Amino acid sequence: MKKFIYIFVFVLLEHIAFSQQQTQFTQYMFNKTEFNPAATGSSKAICAYGAARYQWMGLKNDSGQVINPRNYLFNIELPIYSIRSGIGASVNYGRLGVEDNFDIKLNYAYHQPINEKHVLSIGFSFELMNKSIDYSQFFVFDNGDPLLNNIDKESGIFTDFGLGVYYQFKDKFYTGLSVSQITGASSEIGEVKYDLVPHYYCMAGYNFTLKEDRKSHFVLATGFLVKTTFDITQIELHALLRYNDRYWGGLMYRKDDAIGIIAGMNYNDFSFGLSYDITTSSLAQAGSKGSPEIFIKYCYPIIPKVKKKGYYNPRYL
């Protein structure tokens, strides 16, 4: 019973703080548009990204039912050079105990080059989310409770918006600010009102060149992501060592939650990444065995058309 209380309290706290409305991914640095729509199309390629995360693996209730969050994400984006823009869309499915979330997001970004090396972008996102709860899976302590005796699967639909700004200096530095679920949309699910909570993000990263010659190229990619609702704040730091832009490996630290190990490689136009979070919070006492995550990304580079400039030759005057 004590183990069940541990699990219930901490899953409930996570549900209240971030409501699993906004998915947590350790390898966010490979898919920045998930947290900032202004980054859409900044990679100068058509990119398709797929990821799966099994968070807090091993959490179960007293009946053996798996209650840890599981998330599956697919995202696609591309630049449109003719209008200095980027567009994209993502589909995110998440399951938390008896709750299912299906989220569709459309992203748009406008890129304003400051010069050949600097780009400032602003972005907008439209989000449509369907949340469903299977009340038949609840443990009923009060047989007279009409809500918990409802065996039907109830659902509700939310629509909301996001905004972001993003700055990039070549492949050296990036930073961005964004907010999602701005309006705090609400919906009734099984006679219970659920509210989305605005989430605010700040991210930045810098790549340090450690060695560069004909045979080897080492880069230390560092960065952070801050997520907050102003009631709850979460900070993530990462450092990845890249070799010849082919292999990478490093660590992630999420304050009061986990330490993550990250590794991956590029092969032609594909990228493959793996991570494993070691739980450092009290959820480890409730049975969490960590959080594995995997992603596959394919990018097809797009080169903008070069405008031909006319000129006069005095020889033909």
Each residue of 157-216: pLDDT tens digit? 999 999 999 999 988 999 999 999 999 988 888 777 888 899 999 999 999 999 988 889
Each residue of 204-221: pLDDT tens digit? 999 999 998 888 999 999
Quote the pTM value. Answer: 0.85
Token pair of 59, please?
Answer: 């959490």
Phi-psi region of 58 (alpha: psi -120 to 50; beta: other; left: phi over 0): left
Cα separation of 187 and 97, whole Å?
Answer: 20
The pLDDT value given to residue 27: 96
User: Domain locations in the chain?
Assistant: 2-139+146-305
The pLDDT value given to residue 259: 97
CATH architecture of 2-139+146-305: Beta Barrel (2.40)
The pLDDT value given to residue 9: 40
Question: If we measure between CA atoms, which residue out of 182, 184, 197, 192 comes closest to residue 231?
Answer: 197
Cα separation of 182 and 233, whole Å?
Answer: 17
Cα separation of 66 and 249, whole Å?
Answer: 31
Cα separation of 262 and 253, whole Å?
Answer: 11
Each residue of 100-121: pLDDT tens digit? 999 999 999 999 999 889 999 9
Mean pLDDT of the chain: 86
